[in-house]
A and B are shown apart, each in its own frame.
Chain A
Amino acid sequence: MTWLLLAEAAVPEGGLFDLDATLPLMAVQVVLLTFLLNSLFFRPVGKVVEDREGYISTSLADAKQKLEQVQRLEAELTEQLRGARQAAQAAILEAEQEVDNLYREAIATTEADANRTREKARREIEAQREQAQSQLMGKVDEFSTKIIQRLLAVS
């Protein structure tokens, strides 16, 4: 391992606080390391992290916007649904009323028809009865005349 000793001659004393050319060289080394790490580590990793942060915030904003849109659409649809329900209710009511009306009308016409028929029948019966009565009266008269003639003929 003696190759590590670049020169054997005139080795200084050493000591804890031995400041020498190590200092500026180490400073240069740290500065070089700064530039190296800047291009190898800080810039690429920073770019990735900040890109991701940007991506997340835009996605979040996007999602928020979409959520708003969804809520607006939902409200609109609810409104439409309520309108449709009201329309359906109204249609049902109308139909029920119409059915009721038709039913009443039908009942009324049928009742009137029946009444008319009954009246007609009653009148016919009356007329026939009267006719029959008058015929009967005629017959009674005839018979009584005949009876009287017979009685007169007998006596």
Chain B
Amino acid sequence: MALLPFTLPFAELEVGNHLYWQIGNLNLHGQVFLSSWILIGALLALVLVGTRKLDRDPRGVQNLLEFLWDYLRDLARDQIGEKYYREWLPFIGTLFLFIFVSNWGGALIPWKVFELPEGELGAPTADINTTVAMALLVSLAYFYAGLSKKGLRFFELYVEPTPIMLPFKIIEEFTKPLSLSFRLFGNILADELAVGVLVYLVPLIVPLPVMLLGLFTSAIQALIFATLAAFYIGEGLHEHH
């Protein structure tokens, strides 16, 4: 930074600094929770405003909510199937909405306005804890869905179509959450870093295309995470006979 003649207050890069909250001997990343509470608050406010007066002839925000609902239903129904998608729609939909709001909120809200003593606010999904938490929830949901619908016959999935698949299927159970979490985390963090570096080098205009690309990637990542989650759960529920 000393190489440059001037520095901008909003163009400093920090990686891996966290605002630590300590409860007992547990450490929490405060900035992740702060930004996620703000974003969840915004999401809930939108939902509350939109569902205040639900009508058969939709008006205003209700249109947006119905569009979202329809979109998420199609997503869940395509992946899970007509029979079971209803039970899983809230989970899939919440994953999508939370990731989407986090990604876009992280990109669109000028978090630098809020000074933190340590670390910086940003997309909650740019923290590995958030993405791993959601990926593990998806794995839990997958096992829960399969075991509750099929009992122990769920494990037949591992030897189908042939028992040779067994080791690969077992490895897959570990790679699924790993790829889910790292894909989301890596994309969002990389986008934040790319925008940060560009803003640091050329503060005007030049970062805009990358920012737009970042918005696009953010939306796509939310869709990918939700679609894959639905696909895994659908796989757990799938009848093989």
Contact = CB atoms under 8 A, between A and B. Distances in A.
Nearest to B126: A16
A37 B119 CA distance: 30
Interface stretch (B132-140, B146-154, B204-212, B230-238): B132-140
Contacts of B220: none
Contact of B132 (A10, A11, A19, A29): A19
B116 A49 contact: no
B15 interface: yes
B89 to A, nearest CB: 6
B219 interface: no
Contact of A49 (B29, B69, B93): B69
15 contacts: A1-B116, A4-B117, A6-B30, A14-B20, A18-B16, A20-B27, A21-B28, A24-B133, A25-B33, A26-B32, A33-B40, A40-B51, A42-B93, A45-B69, A48-B56
Interface string A16-50: 11111111111101110111111011101110110
Given A5-B19, A21-B27, A26-B36, A40 B47 contact: yes
B153 to A, nearest CB: 27
Contacts of A11: 20, 118
A21 B23 contact: yes
B17 to A, nearest CB: 5
Given A34-B90, A41-B69, A46-B69, A14 B16 contact: yes
Contact of A30 (B27, B44, B94): B94
Given A6-B30, A20-B28, 6 more contacts: A4-B34, A26-B133, A30-B94, A38-B94, A44-B54, A45-B54
Contacts of A2: 117
Interface of B: 15-23, 26-30, 32-34, 36, 40, 44, 47-48, 50-51, 54-56, 58, 62, 65-66, 69-70, 73, 89-91, 93-95, 97-98, 115-119, 124, 127-130, 132-134, 136-137, 189
Nearest to B130: A26
A16 B28 CA distance: 14
Looking at chain A's contact residues, is the secondary structure mostly helix, strand, loop, or mixed? helix
A30 B118 contact: no
B129 A6 contact: no
A103 interface: no
B28 A30 contact: no
A23 B133 contact: yes
A139 B33 CA distance: 163
Contacts of A21: 23, 26-28
Nearest to B51: A44
Contact of B56 (A12, A22, A51): A51
A10 B21 CA distance: 11
A48 to B, nearest CB: 5
A49 B70 contact: yes
Sorted from nearest, which 5 A-B pairs have the closest CB atoms?
Answer: A22-B129, A21-B26, A38-B90, A27-B133, A26-B133
